[in-house]
């Protein structure tokens, strides 16, 4: 794959999923049943309050997407939690109900469920969400299917977090979290923390089935009540365990879980790649940001640094990441309530050098004493792809992170027969993109949102050179020049 460009505009919608696996269905049905049983009591208890104070909310909506092409407009069907089929027109009905957590008091509980019915090329109906949660002081425990993201962006206008975005359908998880920034004792409010720790299950038809997802985060924020806040966070995701099509079971004991949590290498039961590196398929994000109050406006600056191994963890791929600037209420008018610009750059990936020493790392066009053609090892990070877990950082065929990382299926819809010389799930991970978003109100009853993106795709390092193991037939040709 060489390069190409795409420019896209917005709307309100997204791509689909099928029924959840039977192993998780009982948990989801239980959550939905408990919600239904609890609803009458909550509605009755809150009947004397105003609408804004009620804890129970219900929504119903009908949404459609149409296109004259073989694919839908990009932002119609991406970053919508997997609602829509991106390969056909859609007509979708959505019904949702939830009980919100109370902010007051030491304890509270909440629950929610969403049912989607979609008419499209792949029609379906299913419980998209079904979850329960409980709070004690600042700690929250939740279980079930629930839409969520990890990685701080300006949510309504962003192109998507490089960690966990709104692009794919939710997966069943159990999590404990400190959701809001909470002051650290004895710091007079100048130091705040938040984070989460979660265990989940990948669902759908995957090459390695029955895999687990471990994810966690930890954030620090400082600034107090000055109106200027700086934060930094570290997010870690890892897919692990599972069974191959041939019936081979990958390590999935509690000891293996601890190895995954700490990103340690596997033992003799693990795949060869996982014995040489960390057990499982790992993805991480350094999440930096600054928030400043400017009168009635608020400025948000953020940078997400993506990594898949130690080289990225220590910023050897420092060029790569998502850079964002967003301003809320920039002009003090309802006509434009927020504006955003983002720049996504992922071309470097610690360079074109091979990941590890291996046969063929000194090709004929390099000097024998110059392995890897002079490049450092630990290159070709190939974000979201993995050599063992071949579905990569995806769920039900959608990128869990930025939707601007494209798959072969997506490329075939736009350019049928295009040859990328890559067998990876994501055939374009080296991306340069500019993204602009704008939202506001045209009338008290009519809001708008506009998104436009220009992107250029450079495939993958593995797809260069007609699929040859080494990245360039000409070692003087620097892919970053």
- Residue 74 CB partners (closer than 8 Å, separation 6+): 6, 8, 9, 403, 453
Q: Which of the pair, 424 or 263, is modelled with greater confidence?
A: 263
Residue range 156-176: mean pLDDT, rounded? 96
pLDDT of residue 360: 64
Residue range 275-283: mean pLDDT, rounded? 88
Q: Model confidence over 382-412: pLDDT tens digits?
A: 999 998 999 999 999 999 999 999 988 888 8
Give the Cβ contact number of residue 349 at 10 Å.
Answer: 27
Rounded to the nearest integer, the mean pLDDT of the chain is 83
**Residue 65 to residue 345: CA distance in whole angstroms:** 30
pLDDT of residue 269: 86
- Residue 190 CB partners (closer than 8 Å, separation 6+): 222, 223, 224
pLDDT of residue 70: 74
Would you say the C-alpha torsion 97, 103, 104, 110 has a positive or negative sign? Answer: positive
Model confidence at 258: pLDDT above 90? yes
Model confidence at 474: pLDDT above 70? no
pLDDT of residue 230: 97
Q: Are 384 and 393 in contact (CB under 8 A)?
A: yes
Model confidence at 51: pLDDT above 60? no
pLDDT of residue 366: 67
pTM (predicted TM-score): 0.84
Predicted confidence band of residue 470 (pLDDT cuts 50, 70, 90): low
Q: Which of the pair, 417 or 203, is modelled with greater confidence?
A: 203
Q: Model confidence over 5-48: pLDDT tens digits?
A: 333 333 333 333 322 333 344 343 334 333 333 333 333 333 33
Strand, helix or coil for residue 31: helix
Residue range 62-71: mean pLDDT, rounded? 85
Query: What share of residues in the chain are helix, strand, coil (percent, to 5)?
Result: 15, 40, 45
Q: Model confidence over 424-446: pLDDT tens digits?
A: 899 899 999 999 999 999 999 99
Task: Return the minimum-mean-pLDDT range out of 41-45, 175-179, 328-332, 474-478.
Answer: 41-45
- Residue 135 CB partners (closer than 8 Å, separation 6+): 101, 107, 108, 109, 110, 141
Strand, helix or coil for residue 270: coil
Q: Are 349 and 320 in contact (CB under 8 A)?
A: yes
Residue range 34-63: mean pLDDT, rounded? 53
Strand, helix or coil for residue 154: coil
Predicted confidence band of residue 50 (pLDDT cuts 50, 70, 90): very low
Distances (CA, A) of 354 to 324, 378, 422, 429: 31, 6, 16, 16
């Amino acid at each position: 794959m060489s390069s190409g460009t795409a420019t896209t505009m917005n709307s309100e919608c997204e791509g689909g999923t099928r029924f959840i696996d039977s192993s998780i269905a009982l948990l989801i049905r239980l959550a939905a049943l408990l919600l239904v049983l609890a609803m009458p009591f909550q509605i009755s208890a809150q009947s004397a309050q105003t609408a804004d104070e009620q804890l129970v909310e219900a929504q119903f909506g009908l949404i459609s997407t149409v296109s004259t092409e073989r694919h839908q407009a990009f932002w119609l069907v991406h970053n919508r939690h997997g609602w829509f089929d991106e390969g056909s027109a859609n007509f979708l009905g959505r019904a949702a109900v939830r009980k919100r957590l109370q902010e007051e008091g030491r304890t509270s509980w909440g629950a929610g469920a969403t049912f989607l019915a979609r008419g499209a090329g792949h029609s379906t109906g299913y419980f998209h969400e079904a979850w329960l949660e409980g709070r004690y002081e600042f700690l929250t425990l939740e279980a079930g299917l629930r839409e969520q993201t990890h990685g701080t962006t300006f949510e309504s206008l962003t192109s998507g977090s490089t960690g966990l975005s709104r692009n794919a359908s939710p997966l069943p998880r159990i999590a404990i979290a400190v959701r809001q920034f909470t002051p650290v004792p004895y710091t007079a409010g100048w130091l705040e923390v938040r984070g989460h720790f979660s265990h989940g299950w990948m669902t759908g038809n995957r090459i390695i089935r029955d895999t687990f997802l471990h994810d966690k985060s930890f954030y620090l924020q400082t600034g107090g009540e000055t109106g200027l806040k700086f934060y930094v966070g570290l997010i870690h995701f890892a897919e692990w365990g599972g069974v191959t099509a041939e019936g081979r079971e990958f390590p999935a004991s509690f000891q293996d879980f601890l190895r995954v949590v700490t990103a340690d290498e596997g033992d003799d039961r693990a795949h060869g790649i996982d014995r040489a590196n960390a057990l499982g398929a790992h993805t991480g994000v350094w999440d930096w940001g600054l928030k400043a109050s400017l009168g009635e406006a608020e400025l948000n600056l953020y940078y997400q640094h993506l990594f898949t191994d130690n080289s990225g963890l220590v910023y050897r791929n420092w060029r790569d990441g998502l850079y964002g600037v967003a301003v809320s209420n920039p002009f003090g008018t309802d006509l434009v309530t927020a504006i955003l610009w983002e720049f996504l750059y992922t071309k470097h990936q610690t360079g074109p050098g091979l990941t590890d020493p291996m046969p063929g790392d000194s090709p004929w066009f390099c000097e024998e004493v110059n392995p890897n053609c002079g490049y450092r090892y630990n290159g070709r990070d190939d974000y979201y792809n993995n050599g063992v877990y071949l579905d990569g950082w995806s769920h039900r065929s959608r990128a869990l992170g930025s939707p601007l990382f494209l798959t072969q299926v997506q490329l075939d819809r736009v350019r049928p027969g295009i040859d990328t010389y890559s067998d990876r799930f994501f055939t374009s991970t080296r991306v340069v993109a500019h993204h602009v978003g704008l939202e506001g109100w045209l009338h008290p009853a009519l809001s708008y949102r506009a998104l436009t993106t220009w992107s250029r795709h450079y495939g993958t390092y593995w797809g260069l050179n007609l699929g040859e193991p080494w990245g360039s037939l000409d070692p003087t040709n620097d892919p970053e020049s």
